[in-house]
Structure 1
């Protein structure tokens, strides 16, 4: 057996059992992938895939166990490569951060400014997506770090570390009547058209839960995946907005006003995720600590050692 066979099996599963797609992803031929998988099955003495004619349809029960072992082996191989790269080039390389628009736009600029000063030879890429896409990029080694509020904290295979806490803000035009209210209620918000995040982003589940708990129907007329879009439509008068606290800049958003509404929607935690079992290069630990100073290298290593009860943040 060899690593090529392992990669073919893993990619066949990732491509929903389409060997043609798996071959394209691995820059090889479909007959070659099929032959390698059959040879591995012959060597192991079990069928990895259930077939219908010449097409594979699903994993067999032993195939599921074999896939887990293959994933571990290939993860270790990738770790070996990264260890070599890290010791050969301690202060250079590529660094991919998978995150949402809000984090890329508001939380990362100061962090990355300092990071690039310390590591000018590291080439940073920001891959934006939904929380589920971000987690998928991390799990499939397309990113080194994942940063999001939703979607990664309970994702199998991802170690989610608490980065920072934040609360929502209500965004209104400069002369809006809610600015004179002493304490905003859910009932107050129910009187106005609302513009806020898509259901997959930035604490939207807490917004929906707060309205449901008070039995108030939220008039959400527009959903968006980033705060800049929300603020734009508030500014043109479509409604009032609910955004993450980090997304309001009084200097830039001069035509808008922000009202704290954490008492309505509670605290949210933005998590920084790393793949379980991954090897983190030295500059990745530096980035993590710049993003959240409580996440020292020791804390992160303890969290990744499968003994979370031994660390405190």
Structure 2
């Protein structure tokens, strides 16, 4: 048998998790033919079929493929630990770092943070994954990512949250909305009005919890799992929405003007920060990323999202 490569195993795990070569390619930032070729080579070397190829449903792991994928994940985790040991011995952060980020603010935070970190630590190879909150918790607990940028929402006790920025909620309105000229609005002001809910796991629960102190529940007229779609629906007067990270533009993706109005009263803010498993900071590479993120907050790099620094 030819020697298996970590890259082949990485591609196998990614395709198994996403169910698609195209989605795995997007996740790993490589071309789909590269992944397809690696999977074919791996199947030839092992002499078994790893995937069932279904044109409509994509790819699913065979029973044998699932066993190989589970073992491949352990091998990749072991390789990451070897890199951590080398980094500790050498005193230099190096090796792979898998960073997850909550997809609702990934476009505003992650690319700039990653570029700066990679420039300062050229021996670290960052892989990023944009996930919802439930997926982040699952990925950390399965060691599929090393660290995540997210909110302090429903954090289980086996994970460690490091707060960076406090973000208070605001109402997102179209420019002609009846409340658009207000300096602030209350949850009671919004309760009877049509709402476009950003309907993501755990995130939606937070938005709805803001109404718990009112007699009325929000009047949800539209739901979407896409932040850009939500902003365009608000811009086209389907209803208001609620968010915590201010957009960099007061124009929706389709060109409609938007207005952000602070929500007054006793409403729960969210903390944006870093989430890891307990003990992950023992990795020099993970600790380097934590220190870099804290330094960026202190330098004002997160001011654009209108948050209160916590570090």
Fold conserved between structures, TM > 0.5: yes
Aligned length: 234
1:239 Cα deviation from its structure 2 partner: 1.0
Q: Deviations over 1:43-90 (max 9, x none)?
A: xxxxxxxxxxxxxxxxxxxxxxxxxxxx9xxx8997455313554693
Structure 1 residue aligned with 2:44: none
| 1:1-313 superposed matches below 5 A | 23-26=67-70, 79=81, 82-84=84-86, 87=89, 90-151=92-153, 153=155, 155-198=156-199, 200-202=201-203, 204-244=204-244, 246-250=245-249, 253=252, 255-261=257-263, 263=265, 265-278=267-280, 280-293=282-295
The 3 A distance-change label for structure 1 pair 116 and 80 is: closer
Max Rg structure: 1
Residues 291 and 117 (structure 1), Cα distance of their counterparts in 2 relative to 1, 3 Å cut? same
TM-score of the two chains, using structure 2 as the length reference: 0.63
Shift of 1:118: 0.9
Alpha-carbon distance between aligned partners in 1 of 2:93 and 2:211, rounded to the nearest angstrom: 49
User: How many Å apart are 1:206 and its aligned residue?
Assistant: 4.1
What is the deviation of 1:131? 1.5
Instruction: Let me know the Cα RMSD of the aligned residues.
Output: 3.5
Output the CA distance in 2 between the equivalents of 1:91 and 1:182: 47
Structure 1 unaligned residues grouped into runs of 5+: 1-17, 29-70, 297-311
Contact between 2:80 and 2:96, CA under 8 Å: does it hold in 1?
Answer: no
- C-alpha contact 1:196 1:241 (8 A) present in aligned 2: yes
Q: Which whole-Å CA distance do the structure 2 matches of 1:79 and 1:182 have between them?
A: 52
SS in 2 for 1:132: helix
Is the contact between residue 186 and residue 264 of structure 2 (CA under 8 Å) also seen in structure 1? no
- Shift, 1:241, TM fit: 1.4
Aligned equivalents of 1:207 and 1:26: distance in 2?
36
Partner of 1:62: none
Residue 274 of structure 2: SS of its match in structure 1?
strand
The alpha carbon displacement at 1:257 in A equals: 0.9
> 2:251·2:258 contact (CA, 8 Å) conserved in 1?
no
Instruction: Please give the TM-score of this superposition, normalised by the length of structure 1.
Output: 0.63
State the alpha-carbon separation in 1 of the partners of residues 219 and 85 from structure 2: 53
Distance 2:93 2:275 in 1: 22
Give CA deviations for 1:99-156 in whole Å, capped at 9, x if unaligned.
2112311222332232122123432221122222212211222111022215562x24
Distance (Å, rounded) in 1 between the aligned partners of 2:79 and 2:123: 25
Q: Distance in 1 between matches of 2:292 and 2:91?
A: 21
Equivalent residue of 1:211, what SS? coil
Q: Distance in 1 between matches of 2:297 and 2:82?
A: 25
1:224 deviates by 3.2
Give distance in 2, aligned partners of 1:178 and 1:207. Answer: 19
Secondary structure at 2:197 match in 1:
strand
Structure 1 pair 252/281, CA: closer, same or farther in 2 (3 Å)? Answer: farther
| Cα separation, 1, equivalents of 2:152 and 2:226 | 14
